[in-house]
C-alpha cells in the first residue's frame, strides 16, 4: 500500500476561496456588544461554600468577537472575568461566606492565543501566563495538555510550580530526567491538595482525568478505577474534611466519576462531596446522593459555572441544599451579579489582563486578514449538504482546491474523505483572520492517499463509513469508544445540542420567539440551571464523515482515495469490507 502525505492546516485555504488580497487587523475585542444582550433572570443563590467554575477554555481568552448570534452572549474577555471574580470575592467577604475559583482543564488548543505562536514556541505557553493572574484555588489537567510532550513539559516546569500545589494531576504523570540523569515518572502537578478556606473549612481536593489514551509518549494516564486502589489515594482520603472537592477533566455523566465518588463514600459515607467536571463541552449537573453534587460548565469560555452549598455540621446525614447556575460570559451578566455598572465594573487587574492579551494577539499577528467570508457557515445549525453548511464548504470547495495546489497528482481524479470533527467551530461572516483560521480548525491533519482504487469501490467507502452495516456495527461502536478515549468529544456535544432542539415543543418555540439564541439546558439537578433565558439553537444532524464530489468517471476507472490520517484505521477496515480483491494495511 502506497501513501503520500502533506501536512495541511485545513482552514487556511479559506483564503484561496475568498481571498481579497489585502492585509489588515480586526482582532480587538468589543468592550460592549453591539447587539442587545439578555440580562440574567434572577440573582444567584449563595451558600456557606460557593464556587466559580471554569473548564475547557481552550484559549478563548479574548471572548467571542463575532456579531452573529449567539456569539455576543460570550463576548467577555478573561480580563472582564477577572474583574467579575474580584467583585464576587468582595461580595463573599461581605456575606461572610467562602468563595473558591476552580478550573477543570483543557487550556490548550482552540484559538490563536493558544495556537498562534511562532515556530519554536510551545502551545499556550504565553496565553497560560494570563490564567495564572487569576486567584485559582484549584486547577486540574486536561487531555489537551497531553497530546504533545513539550506542552506537558511546559505545564510541569513553568505552569504547575507557579500554582504552588494548586495544580492537580492525580492520575497523570510525565517522564523527566532525574537528578542522576535516569528517567523518572512523576505527577505533572500534585496528586491531591488539603487546605483551609478563608472561613476555616477543611477541603480535600483531587484532580482526575478520565481514562484518556491519546496522550503522547513519556506521559502516562492511569485509569480512575486503578487510581482509587493506590496507597496514596487511601492516604489522601483517610482523614475526614468538611468537604471533598473532586475536580477534574471528566464528564459528570456517563463516565468514571461514580468510581471516584464511590471510593470516597466507602470511607466517608456522609461527608459532602462536590464534583466539578469537564471535557464534553456541555452544561450538565447531577446529584450522586443527597450530600453530593456534580457540575460541568460548558466550553470555550461561553459558560461560567456557579455552585453553592448550605453546609451542615460534621456528623449530620440529611440532604444538603445545593444550587447551581450556568452563566453566559458577558458584561451584562457580570455587572448584574456584582451590582456594578459599566463605570465601576472594570478593575485594574482586569484591564491589565485584557491589554496584555491584546498585545499578545498583535505579537502573534492574529488579525492578519486572509479574506472575507460572505455569510455565516454552520456546523450543525444548517443541514448538510447546504449552502450554509461549513462542512459543505470544506468538502466541496476548500479541500479540492487546497489539495490540488503544488500537487503532482492533481490531474488524477480523486475523492477526498475526512471526519466532520476536523472542523471545530462555525465560520462567521466578515473578516476571516489568522485567529479565525485557528479557531475553526485548530488541527493540522496529514492527508494520505491510496492510488489506483476503482471509482466504484471508492464511491462505496463514504456511505459505509457513515452507515456501518449489521456485521460492522459492533466494530463501529468500538471505534466510537476508542475515538472518545483518544479525546474526540464532538459526538457528545452534538448529541446534547440535538436533544436540546428536539425537546423544545412548538408552544415553547413560539414563547421563545422573542428570545435570543443560546443554550437551553435540561440537567438532572433541581430547578432551572440557565442564568439567562434563550431560544434553543437550530440543529441538523450531520454525518460523521464527509467527502468531496465524486468524479464523473466509469466505475472501473482507477482514481486516488485521499483521506486524513485521523480516520486511517477505520477507513482501511471499511475499504477491506467493500472489496476483497486486495487487502489494505498500514505500512
Q: pLDDT, tens digit, for every residue of 166-206?
A: 999 999 999 999 888 899 999 999 999 999 999 999 999 99
Q: Which of 21, 76, 116, 62 is nearest to 441 (CA)?
A: 116
- Integer CA distances (angstroms), 16 to 21, 319, 398, 486, in order: 10, 60, 8, 32
Residue 245, beta-bridge partner list: 205, 274
**Cβ–Cβ under 8 Å, residues 176 and 152:** no
Share of the chain above pLDDT 90, in %: 82
b/e code 32-70 from CB counts within 10 Å (16+ = b): ebeeebbebeeebbbbbbbbbbbbbbbbbbbbbbbebeb
b/e code 526-546 from CB counts within 10 Å (16+ = b): eeebbbbbbbbbebbebbbbb
Structure-derived torsion over alpha carbons of residues 5, 478, 174, 177, reported in degrees to the nearest 10: -60
pLDDT digits (tens, 9 = 90+) for 501-523: 998 766 566 666 789 999 999 99
What is residue 11's predicted lDDT score, i.e. its pLDDT? 40
Which residue ranges form the domains of the chain, and what is each CATH number? 44-363 (3.60.21.10)
**Cβ–Cβ under 8 Å, residues 427 and 373:** yes
Mean pLDDT over residues 396-419, rounded?
92
What is residue 569's predicted lDDT score, i.e. its pLDDT? 87
Spatial CB neighbours of 472, under 8 Å, sequence gap ≥ 6: 464, 573, 574, 577
pLDDT digits (tens, 9 = 90+) for 294-316: 999 999 999 999 999 999 988 89
b/e code 408-438 from CB counts within 10 Å (16+ = b): eeeeeebbbbbbbbbbbbbbbebbbbbbbbb
- Identify the residue whose cell numbers are 467554575: 53
What is residue 488's predicted lDDT score, i.e. its pLDDT? 86
3 pLDDT above the threshold of 80 = no
Mean pLDDT over residues 358-371, rounded?
97
**Cβ–Cβ under 8 Å, residues 450 and 560:** yes
Look at the alpha carbons of 347, 349, 352, 358 in this order and tell me if their dihedral is positive or negative. negative
Mean pLDDT over residues 30-45, rounded?
80
User: CA-to-CA distance for 307 and 51, rounded, in angstroms?
Assistant: 5
- Counting every residue written for the chain, the total comes to 587
Model confidence, pTM: 0.91
What is residue 9's predicted lDDT score, i.e. its pLDDT? 38
What is residue 33's predicted lDDT score, i.e. its pLDDT? 58
CA contacts within 13 A on the Cβ side of 140: 33
What is residue 275's predicted lDDT score, i.e. its pLDDT? 99
b/e code 101-114 from CB counts within 10 Å (16+ = b): bbbbbbbbbbbbbb
User: CA-to-CA distance for 346 and 366, rounded, in angstroms?
Assistant: 25
- What band does 444 get if pLDDT is binned at 50, 70 and 90? confident
Mean pLDDT over residues 560-584, rounded?
93
pLDDT digits (tens, 9 = 90+) for 202-253: 999 999 999 999 999 999 999 999 999 999 999 999 999 999 999 999 999 9
User: CA-to-CA distance for 49 and 195, rounded, in angstroms?
Assistant: 14
Cβ-based burial of 100 (10 A; exposed 0-12, middle 13-18, buried ≥19): buried
Residue 459, beta-bridge partner list: none
479 pLDDT above the threshold of 90 = no
User: CA-to-CA distance for 354 and 133, rounded, in angstroms?
Assistant: 11
What mean pLDDT, rounded, does the chain reach? 91
**Cβ–Cβ under 8 Å, residues 8 and 444:** yes
Say how many Å lie between the first and final Cα of the chain, rounded.
7
> Strand locations in 389-505, DSSP E?
414-419, 430-433, 444-454
342 pLDDT above the threshold of 90 = yes
- What band does 473 get if pLDDT is binned at 50, 70 and 90? low
491 pLDDT above the threshold of 90 = no
Cβ-based burial of 354 (10 A; exposed 0-12, middle 13-18, buried ≥19): buried
State CA 86 to chain mean position distance: 25
Q: What ranges in 108-199 are assigned the alpha helix state H?
A: 112-115, 125-131, 149-154
Mean pLDDT over residues 58-69, rounded?
96
Peptide bond into 70 cis (omega under 30): yes
pLDDT digits (tens, 9 = 90+) for 120-131: 999 999 999 999
Amino acid at each position: 500500500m502506497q501513501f503520500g502525505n502533506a501536512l495541511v492546516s485545513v482552514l487556511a485555504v479559506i483564503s484561496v476561496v475568498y481571498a481579497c488580497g489585502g492585509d489588515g487587523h480586526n482582532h480587538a475585542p468589543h468592550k460592549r456588544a453591539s447587539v442587545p444582550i439578555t440580562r440574567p433572570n434572577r440573582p444567584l443563590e449563595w451558600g456557606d461554600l460557593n464556587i466559580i467554575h471554569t473548564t475547557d477554555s481552550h484559549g478563548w481568552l479574548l471572548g467571542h468577537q463575532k456579531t452573529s448570534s449567539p456569539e455576543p452572549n460570550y463576548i467577555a474577555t478573561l480580563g472582564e472575568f477577572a474583574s467579575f471574580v474580584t467583585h464576587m470575592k468582595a461580595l463573599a467577604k461581605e456575606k461572610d461566606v467562602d468563595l473558591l475559583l476552580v478550573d477543570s482543564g483543557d487550556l490548550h488548543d482552540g484559538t490563536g492565543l493558544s495556537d498562534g505562536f511562532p515556530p519554536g514556541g510551545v502551545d499556550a505557553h504565553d496565553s497560560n501566563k494570563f490564567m495564572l493572574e487569576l486567584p485559582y484555588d484549584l486547577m486540574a489537567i486536561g487531555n489537551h495538555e497531553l497530546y504533545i510532550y513539550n506542552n506537558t513539559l511546559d505545564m510541569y516546569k513553568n505552569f504547575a510550580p507557579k500554582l504552588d500545589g494548586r495544580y492537580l494531576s492525580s492520575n497523570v504523570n510525565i517522564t523527566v530526567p532525574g537528578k542522576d540523569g535516569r528517567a523518572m515518572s512523576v505527577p505533572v502537578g500534585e496528586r491531591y491538595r488539603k487546605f483551609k478556606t478563608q472561613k476555616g473549612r477543611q477541603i480535600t481536593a483531587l484532580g482526575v482525568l478520565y481514562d484518556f489514551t491519546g496522550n503522547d509518549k513519556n506521559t502516562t494516564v492511569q485509569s480512575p478505577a486503578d487510581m482509587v486502589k493506590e496507597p496514596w489515594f487511601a492516604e489522601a482520603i483517610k482523614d475526614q474534611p468538611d468537604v471533598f472537592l473532586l475536580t477534574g477533566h471528566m464528564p459528570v455523566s456517563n463516565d468514571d466519576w461514580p468510581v471516584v465518588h464511590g471510593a470516597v463514600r466507602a470511607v466517608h459515607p456522609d461527608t459532602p462531596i462536590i464534583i466539578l467536571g469537564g471535557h464534553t463541552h456541555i452544561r450538565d449537573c447531577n446529584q450522586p446522593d443527597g450530600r453530593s453534587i456534580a457540575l460541568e460548565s460548558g466550553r470555550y469560555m461561553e459558560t461560567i459555572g456557579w455552585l453553592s452549598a448550605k453546609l451542615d455540621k460534621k456528623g449530620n446525614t440529611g440532604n444538603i441544599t445545593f444550587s447551581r447556575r450556568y452563566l453566559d460570559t458577558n458584561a451584562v451578566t457580570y455587572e448584574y451579579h456584582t451590582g456594578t455598572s459599566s463605570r465601576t465594573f472594570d478593575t485594574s487587574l482586569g484591564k491589565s489582563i485584557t491589554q496584555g492579551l491584546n498585545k499578545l494577539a498583535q505579537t502573534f499577528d492574529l488579525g492578519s486578514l486572509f479574506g472575507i467570508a460572505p455569510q455565516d457557515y454552520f456546523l450543525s445549525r444548517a443541514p448538510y449538504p447546504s449552502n450554509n453548511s461549513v462542512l459543505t464548504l470544506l468538502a466541496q470547495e476548500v479541500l479540492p482546491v487546497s489539495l490540488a495546489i503544488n500537487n503532482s497528482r492533481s490531474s488524477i481524479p480523486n475523492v477526498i474523505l475526512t471526519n466532520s470533527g476536523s472542523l471545530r467551530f462555525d465560520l462567521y461572516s466578515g473578516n476571516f483572520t489568522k485567529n479565525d483560521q485557528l479557531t475553526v480548525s485548530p488541527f493540522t491533519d496529514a492527508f494520505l492517499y491510496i492510488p489506483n482504487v476503482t471509482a466504484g469501490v471508492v464511491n462505496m467507502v463514504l456511505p459505509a463509513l457513515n452507515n456501518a452495516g449489521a456485521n460492522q456495527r459492533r466494530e463501529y461502536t468500538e471505534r466510537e469508544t476508542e475515538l472518545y478515549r483518544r479525546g474526540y468529544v464532538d459526538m457528545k456535544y452534538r448529541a446534547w445540542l440535538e436533544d436540546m432542539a428536539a425537546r423544545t415543543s412548538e408552544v415553547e418555540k413560539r414563547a421563545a420567539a422573542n428570545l435570543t439564541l443560546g443554550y437551553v439546558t435540561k440537567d438532572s439537578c433541581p430547578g432551572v440551571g440557565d442564568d439567562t433565558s434563550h431560544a434553543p439553537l437550530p440543529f441538523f444532524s450531520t454525518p460523521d464523515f464527509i467527502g468531496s464530489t465524486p468524479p464523473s468517471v466509469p466505475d472501473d476507472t482507477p482514481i486516488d482515495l485521499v483521506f486524513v490520517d485521523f480516520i486511517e484505521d477505520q477507513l482501511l477496515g471499511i475499504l477491506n469490507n467493500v472489496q476483497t480483491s486486495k487487502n489494505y494495511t498500514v505500512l
